[in-house]
Structure 1
Amino acid sequence: MTNPDSAPNLNWHILYTYPRYERKVHNHLLRNNFNSFLPVHTIVKQWSDRKKKTEVPLFPNYIFVQTTTNKCFRVLDFHGISHFIAFNGNPVVVGDEVIQTIKKMMGTSNLSVEERLIVGDKVLIQGGIFDGLTGIVYRKNGRSRFCVQISAINQIISVDIDTSDVSMIKLVKQ
């Protein structure tokens, strides 16, 4: 009989992967007997001639792995993994209840990830008639729409943009 106090303490940790490597890393972890969780959701992609439903990671570049703290760094040897999300040099631990909540939410049809945009954030519009323009979040209107100041036309103008068409531009500190 195994002593429960001596059983390894498995915790969920967050891995940061190379761009578009989430599925490869997830499958590699599973093949190597690690419990891995890659939350995905279905989106509709629009091409000029058709629409197609595609399954994409819910959190691009992030996957969850359940392991002991001692085995965390063995995981980093896998190709496609950049690093663990860490705080003060220690991999962040995610509670089982958070993983269970994400799994429950994945079963709903209206799931979407909202970026934490705040007034003043610089954004890129990806979709619609303003595709490719950059602007600044000017005002938030409710839960799913933003008013964005479009600076590319050298005018102070605002337009409602659906959050699915907006991504934050990450500024590089110099």
Structure 2
Amino acid sequence: GLGALADAGVPVHRLSFIPETGIALPETGDAHAALDPMLGHYLAYLEGRGEYVVDGVRRIAALDSGTTVVHCAAGKDRTGVLVALVCAAVGVPREEITADYALSATRIDALFEKWTTASGEPMPPADELDRHRPRAEVMAEFLRLLDERHGGPVGWLQENGLTDDELARLRARLREEGA
């Protein structure tokens, strides 16, 4: 099934950002790889499943009202990319986007505790947990690369099919609800 939300009557849409054949990491350059290996994954979501990324933005724009929940296994990587694109598209300042992304770091220990308790496996060592913690500079670099390669997050979204009308609707909806 689709889970508890669907069971409660909430419309649920599954959009995989990871191709069935696995993720092919794009070339990011040694400096980027040294910053954080997840940066390559974030770019791969866009390259490998760009249509689903845009579909996620499109679905948020299409709703008349109500709350949207975006989630993935840990709520930091695939969720972080989609939420960052939506926020950037509606004009949220970069420093707020990166700070919000980094907040997920506070939940890593609890997530791994939940997963390991369920599986019976031991908790990973602290250095491994640290590798999973989102850092603001990684999202900042992801957004900077979109600026450099596509004229920004909005440029990437439009190159991949988001229309001017959908962008206007997204902005109207989120600015109105966030007011």
Fold-level similarity (TM above 0.5): no
Q: Kindly indicate which of the two structures has a greater share of residues assigned to helix.
A: 2
> Relative contact order (alpha carbons < 8 A, sep ≥ 6): 1 or 2 greater?
2
Instruction: Please state which band the TM-score falls in when normalised by the shorter chain.
Output: under 0.3
- Normalising by structure 1, report the TM-score: 0.22
Q: Kindly indicate which of the two structures has a greater share of residues assigned to strand.
A: 1
- Normalising by structure 2, report the TM-score: 0.21
Whichever of the two has the greater Rg, that structure is 1
